[in-house]
Amino acid sequence: MLKAKEVSEAISGYIIRGDPETLFCSVSTDSRNIKGGELFFALKGERHDGHLFIDDARRKGAKGAVINESMKDVVKGDDFVVIAVKDTLKALGDLSGWWRRRFDVKVIGITGSSGKTTTKEMLSKILSAEKNVLKSPGNYNNLIGLPLTLLNLRRFHEIAIVEMGMNRIGEIRRLTEIARPEIGIITNVGPAHLEGVGDIRGVLKAKTELIEEISEDGVVFINGDSELLSKEAERFGKNVIRFGKGSQNDIRIIEYKEDGFYGSSFSFLWKGKRYSFQLSVPGFFNIMNAVAASAVAIYLGMSEDVIKRKLKEYREVEGRFQRIYLKEDVLLINDTYNANPLSLKEALSFLNKIRSGRKLIIGLGDMLELGDYTEKAHREAGREVAKLKPDFFFAIGNFARYMIEGARDEGFKNVFLCSDHEEMAELIKKHLKKGSVVFLKASRRICLENVVKKIKEEWDEEDRNC
């Protein structure tokens, strides 16, 4: 429970209406989810201003609201607590940071251009075998989602695992300031969110804010195969542990095997000891995620046997290289949750290695937030697809024409521009044959999962685990 007086002090605000002794059961930033007893934070975003929904929140049972002081005349109702601040988004973070400091809990912060959610889910599955774990739900990795996650901390929690995403310089610094992690993970650094940071150097600067801001006795596990990341990490003089294939790594992958679409296995050396694990999910990118997760679990004292069991039990997150088996031995790979040049390159590389003569159909949508790199990235994506020589390539979105042109530059002819989800789904279904592999990927806002649903409606998903 949160008391109005405590909240106002924690966020450097002041109560302009209501009883300072009022208790709130939780915090909400969405009036649609109000159930009763919450403190509503009126956040102003690009599309909506939360101040316009304060009355709605009050009618649904919220007991109070945090508002920008410039809007203090918009709230009605004498029994409703109103706390004014200069910036409601900052106030949400301040409250979360204050709440986090009340608990003796170990916080793990995970960032990277790809693999954050998978690494989080793997690590949570391992640690939950013996500990009470709080983790970011879904993709709660920004200046709203991370604070809301930490505000769910309770006395019984022993570990909190949070994702840290960014669109611009300074965001991970702020997230680290709020969460105060003792352990950090940087999965990789690649061309993502360039619109807000300019170039790969900007991404590097943004991601390594986790290293810069972590406490002096903290530790950060990083992808040591990235020369750029490794070199930048040295600047901060913090405890950094590198993992990867290269001999320069503290945790060195010495052997790995990919069993097509069905899984993989790997071994690494750390401090002279060999660790070996199996995965039921495919791809070297998942091996790297698993190395990061298992290394942190070992660091925290988890037994090798528990890690082995839990990694083998792990199944992919929906929309993240998710395997869906359909009739006629058709495999639909749903990778529609997000996309950037790095994650696309990793996925295409894997498809190239394990295609094994199966008919391959690729459907891609826009990769967003790439700024000046947008056209080049999409042309390059088209060229990379063409090099795979799939049977068909379908593209959709505002930047699809660049992918089409890139593929044609490589001499690829079976490429088609789709006007909407319906057309893409119908074209794919038209060309499906027994044993086909369909790969779909795009940035989240393209909603390419709608194509997944339309294909599944006709091709009947089988109840099959692998």
286 pLDDT more than 70: yes
Predicted local confidence at residue 192, as pLDDT: 85
Average pLDDT score over residue span 309-337: 95
Q: Which tens digits make up the pLDDT trace of 296-320?
A: 999 999 999 999 999 999 999 999 9
pTM exceeding the 0.85 threshold for the entire prediction: yes
Predicted local distance difference test score (pLDDT) of residue 196: 86
Portion of the chain with pLDDT greater than 90, in percent: 89
- pLDDT reported for residue 401: 97
Predicted pLDDT at 466? 40
Q: What are 350-408's pLDDT values in tens digits?
A: 998 888 889 999 999 999 999 999 999 999 999 999 999 999 999 999 999 999 999 99
User: What pLDDT score was predicted for residue 416?
Assistant: 96
Mean pLDDT of 164-178: 96
Task: Encode pLDDT of 191-246 as tens digits.
Answer: 888 888 989 999 999 999 999 999 999 999 999 999 999 999 999 999 999 999 99
pLDDT at 21 exceeding the cut of 70: yes
Mean pLDDT of 321-343: 94
Rounded Cα distance between 122 and 242, Å, is 19
Domains along the chain? 2-86 (3.40.1390.10), 103-313 (3.40.1190.10), 322-459 (3.90.190.20)
pLDDT at 79 over 60: yes
Distances from the Cα of 38 to the Cα of 19, 33, 237, 273, angstroms: 15, 10, 43, 50
Encode the chain in three state secondary structure: CEEHHHHHHHCCCEEEECCCCCEECEEECCHHHCCCCEEEECCECCCCEHHHHHHHHHHCCCCEEEEEHHHCCCCCCCCCEEEEECCHHHHHHHHHHHHHCCCCCEEEEEECCCCHHHHHHHHHHHHCCCCCEEECCCCCCCCCHHHHHHCCCCCCCCEEEEECCCCCCCHHHHHHHHHCCCEEEECCCCCCCHHHHCCHHHHHHHHCHHHHHCCCCCEEEEECCCHHHHHHHHHHCCEEEEEECCCCCCEEEEEEEECHHHCEEEEEEECCEEEEEEECCCCHHHHHHHHHHHHHHHHCCCCHHHHHHHHHHCCCCCCCCEEEEEHHHCEEEEECCCCCHHHHHHHHHHHHHHCCCCCEEEEEECCCCCHHHHHHHHHHHHHHHHHHCCCEEEEECCCHHHHHHHHHHCCCCCEEEECCHHHHHHHHHHHCCCCCEEEEECCHHHCCHHHHHHHHHHHCECCCCC
Is there a contact between 67 and 42 (Cβ–Cβ < 8 Å)? yes
pLDDT of residue 461: 55
What tens digit of pLDDT does each residue of 410-440 get? 999 999 999 999 999 999 999 999 999 999 9
pLDDT of 336 over the 90 cut: yes
Examine the pLDDT at 464 and tell me if it is beyond 60: no
Average pLDDT over residues 163-183: 97
Confidence (pLDDT) at 77: 64
Give pLDDT, residue 463.
Answer: 45
79: amino acid identity, one letter: D
Pairing assessment for the beta strands 273-279 and 264-270 based on DSSP bridges: antiparallel
| Average pLDDT, rounded, for the chain | 94
Do residues 381 and 344 make contact, with C-beta atoms less than 8 angstroms apart?
yes
